[in-house]
Amino acid sequence: MRPFVNRTAEVSALRRRLAARRSFVLLYGQRRTGKTWLLQHVLEGDGDCLFFTADETTPRMLLERFVVLAAAQNRLPGQVTPSAVGDWGTALTLLLQEAVLRKRRLVIALDECQYLLDREPSFPSVLQRLWDEFRPRLSLHIVLCGSALGTMARLGDSRQPLHGRFDLKLQLRPFSYADAGLFVPSWSPVDRLRLYGIFGGLARHLAYVDPGCDLASNLCQVVLDPLSPLHDAPHDILRTERLSAPAEADAILGAMAHGENRFNAIAARTGLAAPRLDRVLSELQSLDIVRKEARIGDSDGSRYVRYRCADPFMQFWFRLVEGNRTALQSTPAARVYQERILPQLDTCMGSVFESIVEQAVRRGVLSAHMDPVDEVGSYWSRDGKTEIDLVVRSRRRTAFIECRWRAETTVPSSALSQLREHAARTPFAAQEAIYCIASAGSFSKGLRQCAGEGKVVLIGLPELTGLPGTEARDNMGPMVKTWS
């Protein structure tokens, strides 16, 4: 059985609501984040729970499957048959009435609820009526769980029937780099970061990783091999989300994975006209597949924005896997890895490392040097001559952070002077400044001396992972010996 990793806050919140006399819970998030796994973990052993998973079938088949499940669990009057139940209002009324008669607590968990909402637009109104009617009469818990972010989030809007009914609205997000590392507790700190850079933060993807094998072996067995479970995962995700233009979305993600993050550059690489590109980008943002970033300090609606793949796995796949799929059909995965992927892996990790450091900042890696953080983001000048990987602003101080992934190199002292020069050309230069350099590699003697004098803050593997054993080691190469 797969281990259940972290989600401590989410588990506690759900259990608190289920321990009350009644609750109405909305749980949503993008696909593959582990929503079903979380619900099953929380509801395991709960004999009062009716757990129903909807899918893409006809309205009648959905209703009939629900009635059959409820009858099989002895939750309906004995004389009720599926053919006798004509609509969801009747089915749920019979279910709730039976619970009242038996004075029995009832938990109704409806997973993949977006399919039910698509086929039964009146379903929220039915739930609202029955919740208001039966809530005073029994211990009732309803959990709605789904992956269509917009559809699920709108259930709580002021104009919707269920507005004001939810006791808990929980959006389940992908794992952070720190949480992803918990899937491989015996791995070195640098390989934990590489794991996040390759497999990203989606629970479904991380669950395929075998902590008993090294990272390179997992990459070949889970992603590169044509028969592996994640070999075509990005295309599966795009098809499942029913995008209006999956081929164009594919081209956009490929352009971003290869470094094009400005609107005009993406348009030039994909050949898409601006209105069409804007529409598909908006779709991808609504699904949390693409993230739109404005410069720190800019107002809402600024034209100076960049686009990135929201999950590192998408970036890795479109950059290093998609173009090699033909070769992988006829060449052992280990050889393709060694010759085509390994030489580019550190370059691919560069932008991911910025995300890792940003997450570490939000987790408090600079708390000893700054007030509580108010704003984190990147800064770049319009002329392209000034760029700061991360700018962190608090009430009194501003931190400027240079991020350098290279795990097998030493960051030279010149990095500090370059960072100071760039910071002096930003709008935040007048504020009290902290200069920081983050790296998965080592720091020069000069930088360590400056850190001792308080001139720079160094963020290395110990600060990022909280683990001892800080030497950056390359565990990616020897794998080929066992595969060749």
What pLDDT, on the 0 to 100 scale, is given for residue 3? 64
Q: What is the DSSP string of 289-312?
A: SEEEEEPTTPPTT-S-EEEEESSH
Q: Which residues of the chain have pLDDT under 50?
A: 1, 470-475, 477-484
Q: Does 161 reside within a domain?
A: yes
What pLDDT, on the 0 to 100 scale, is given for residue 468? 62
Q: Which value, to the nearest 10 degrees, does the dihedral of the CA atoms of residues 200, 204, 205, 211 take?
A: 100
156 and 299 in one domain?
no
440 and 385 in one domain?
yes
220 and 101 in one domain?
no
Where a domain ends, among 320, 338, 358? 358
What pLDDT, on the 0 to 100 scale, is given for residue 2? 58
The neighbouring-strand residues paired with 458 are 437
400 and 313 in one domain?
no
Where a domain ends, among 358, 391, 412? 358
Q: Does 309 reside within a domain?
A: yes
48 to each of 110, 115, 134, 147, 236, how far by Cα in Å? Answer: 14, 24, 16, 25, 35
Q: How many helices (H) and strands (E) does the chain have?
A: 23, 14
Residue 342, domain CATH: 1.10.10
252 and 349 in one domain?
yes
205 and 85 in one domain?
no
The tokens for 463 are 């600060």
What pLDDT, on the 0 to 100 scale, is given for residue 240? 85
182 to each of 89, 95, 188, 351, 466, how far by Cα in Å? Answer: 44, 41, 12, 22, 12
Q: Does 476 reside within a domain?
A: no
200 and 322 in one domain?
yes
| Pairing assessment for the beta strands 387-393 and 375-380 based on DSSP bridges | antiparallel
What pLDDT, on the 0 to 100 scale, is given for residue 151? 86
Q: Which residue range forms the structural domain that includes residue 250?
A: 177-358
The H or E element spanning position 293 is: strand 290-294
CA distance linking residue 166 with residue 77, whole number of Å:
29
What pLDDT, on the 0 to 100 scale, is given for residue 239? 87
The tokens for 406 are 């290279």
114 and 185 in one domain?
no
92 and 235 in one domain?
no
Where a domain ends, among 171, 191, 223? 171
CA distance linking residue 203 with residue 196, whole number of Å:
11
Q: Considering only CA atoms, which of 176, 191, 180 is closest in space to residue 461?
A: 191
The neighbouring-strand residues paired with 401 are 390, 436
Residue 240, helix vs strand vs coil: helix
414 and 269 in one domain?
no
Q: Which amino acid is at 62?
A: L
Residue 442, domain CATH: 3.40.1350.10
The tokens for 323 are 């173009």
